[in-house]
Structure 1
Amino acid sequence: MNGMKWLRLPGARPTPPAAVHPGDVLAEAEALHVRLGTREVLSGVDVMARAGEVLALVGPNGAGKSTLLSALAADLPTAAGLVRVHGRPAADWSAHELALRRAVLPQSATLSFPFAVEEVVRMGRAPWAGTALEDEDDPAVATAMAATETLDFAARPFSALSGGERARVALARVLAQRASLLLLDEPTAALDLRHQELVLRICRERALAGDAVVVVLHDLGLAAAYAHRVVILSAGRAVADGPPAEIFTDRLLSDVYRQPVEVFPHPRSGEVLITPRRGS
C-alpha cells in the first residue's frame, strides 16, 4: 500500500523499546487508587500484564474496568499507588516513548475529518516516523487490515462506516502500531458473533507472538474462552485474579453481578460456560 508519511512527534529522539521476553511484566498497577472528581473509582488495585498472555478485565458496570485500563495506559493520573509500563514508572516515559511501547483502543472511535480507512489505520504508525522501523509502515498497515478484514473498504471514508466496521478499523490502527502492550477497551461491543470471535482470536495470536494483551470484556463466555488470566473487578476493587477455569464460580459471579449465575463445563470440550440462572 502506498500512503502518506507522518511527521515525527515533537521532542527529543525517543528511547527505542527493548526486546520483550515471555513472562515479562509490561504493565503493572501497585496499590492503585484513582479518583474521578470526588469519587474514588479504584481502591488499592494490584494487577500485572505479562508478555505472552491475554488478561481480561471483567465486572459489572461501574466496577472500574475502563478506569483501570486507562491507568495502565498512563492516560489517567493516580491518587495513590504506582503504575509501571515496561518496568518503569509511567511518569518516567515521554508521550512518544509510551507510544512505542503501548497501543490503546478506546471504547469509541470518532474523527472530525473525512479520513479514508487506510489513512486511519496508518495513523498507528505515527510513533515510528523518523526511526529505523519507518520502512515497515506499509507492511504493518496491510497486515493489520488483512487481520481485521478491513481491506475491502480501505478507500471508504471512516465516517461512512457502520459501528462494527469502525471498531475493526480502530483495532487495525492499534495493531499497525506494533507495540508490545495492547490495551483494548470493549473491542467486541459493536461486533457481530463472527467478528467478536475474530477479534479475540487476534488477541490470542498477539499473545502467542509475545505481546501482552489487556482487554476489557462484558461477555464472560469470551473471557473464559480466550483469556489466559482474568481479573474480576467489583466496586473499584480486584476481588479475584487467576485463570478463568479457577476463579469463575457460581458463587463469586453471582455475588459480583448480583444475578444468579451457573458455571459448568461444556459437554464436549470441557470449556467453562457461564449463563444466567433463569426461572425457578
Structure 2
Amino acid sequence: MVAAARALTVRRGGRAVLDGVDLEVAAGEVLALAGPNGAGKSTLLAALAGDLAPEAGEVTLAGRPAHAHGARELARRRAVLPQDPTISFPFTSAEVVRMGRAPWAGTAAAAADDAAVAEAMVQTGTTALAGRPFPALSGGERARVALARVLAQRAGTLLLDEPTAALDLRHQEAVLRVCRERAAAGAAVVVVLHDLGLAAAHADRVAVLHRGRLAAAGPPEAVLTGELLSEIYDHPVEVLPHPLTGTRLVLPLRGNGSSR
C-alpha cells in the first residue's frame, strides 16, 4: 500500500463532496476511479495527492500523513495530471515535459533528466511535438504532452484525472497501455475514467463513487455489473463479455428500453 484514505470527508459550499471514503492504493496496480459527474472523483484524487486538506479523516502517503510531506518530497513520491492542464506562456512541448524533472534538481537523479524526458515523449508519441509551443497544440496534443511531463517525473505513484478525455481511440488505448506498463514496473496508478469500457479492459481494480461515497471497489468483473451501474448512473446499463477476449463491455441501453 502506497496511499490510503481513511474515513475521508471533504466539504465544499456546505456540501459533503466526499463523505467517509475508505480506499487503499497499492503498488503495481492500475486503480480506476469511476462514477457520475459530481460523484467526487477529482476531489478524491486531489486528496490522495495531498493537495486538498480533508475536513475529517486522513490521507496517508508512503505510510505518513500526506500533510507531513514537504512540497518537494510530495513531488518525488507522486505525480499529478490535472483534468485541464493549461500553460499560458509559450514554452515548447519539450520544456513542459522537462518541468516534470524539477523535483529532482540538485540530486543525483538529475543526471537522468535528458533520458527521462526523451523516454516520456516516446511513450506518449510526442517526440515530433518537442519544438512546438504548448499553447499552440490541439487539445489532444496538449493532453499527451502533459502526460509526458507526469511520466518524466518518475514518481512511484501516478494520479491522473481523465487523461483520455481529449484523445481519439488510438491514443486512449496508448495512454492506458502506458499506465499498465508503469504498474507492471511497480508504480501505483490511479486514473479517473468516464469510459467504463477502458476501465474494464485496463484496470486491476475499479472504485465507483456515488454522491461522495464509495459505492463499490474491487476487480472490474465484480464491480462493473449492469445492476450496480444502472442504479449509479440512473440509466439502464448492460454489461456483456466481449465475444473474443471476454473483456466486459459496458453499454448504455438505448431506444424503448432506456427509460427509467
TM-score with structure 2 length normalisation?
0.98
**Aligned position for 1:234:** 210
Question: Which residue matches 2:28?
Answer: 52
Residue-pair matches, total: 256
- Secondary structure at the aligned position of 2:2 is classed as strand
Which residue in 1 is equivalent to 2:91? 115
Q: What corresponds to 2:197 in structure 1?
A: 221
In structure 2, what is the equivalent of residue 173 of structure 1? 149
CA distance in 1, matches of 2:133, 2:245: 42
CA distance in 2, matches of 1:270, 1:154: 39
Asked if 1:243 is matched to 2:219, the reply is yes
Q: Which amino acid aligns with 2:235?
A: Q
What is the aligned-residue identity percentage?
68
| 1:70 corresponding residue in structure 2 | 46
**Equivalent position of 2:243 in the other structure:** 267
Q: CA RMSD in A?
A: 0.6
Write 1 or 2 for the structure with the bigger share of helix: 2
Larger displacement relative to structure 2 (187-196 or 107-116): 107-116
Tell me how far 1:269 sits from its aligned partner.
1.2
Corresponding residue of 2:6: 30
Deviation at 1:268, TM superposition (A): 1.3
Quote the offset at 1:37 in angstroms: 2.5
What one-letter code is carried by the residue in structure 1 that aligns with 2:145? V
Q: Alignment partner for residue 122 of structure 2, among 146, 158, 173?
A: 146
- Once the two structures are superposed, what CA deviation does each residue of 1:115-143 show, in whole Å capped at 9, x if it has no partner? 01000000000000000111000000000
For residues 110 and 120 of structure 2, the distance between their equivalents in structure 1, rounded to whole angstroms, comes to 16
Please state whether the residue corresponding to 2:108 is helix, strand or coil.
coil
Equivalence for 1:160: 136
Runs of 4+ in structure 1 displaced over 6 angstroms? none
> Aligned to 2:17, what secondary structure does the other structure show?
strand
- CA–CA separation in structure 2 for the residues paired with 1:76 and 1:157: 31
List gaps (5 residues or longer) in structure 2: none
TM-score using structure 1 length: 0.91
Query: Aligned partners of 2:172, 2:87: CA distance in 1, in Å?
Result: 23
Whole-Å separation in 1 of the counterparts to 2:136 and 2:252: 37
CA offset at residue 258 of structure 1?
A: 0.2
Structure 2 Cα separation of the partners of residues 146 and 270 of structure 1: 31
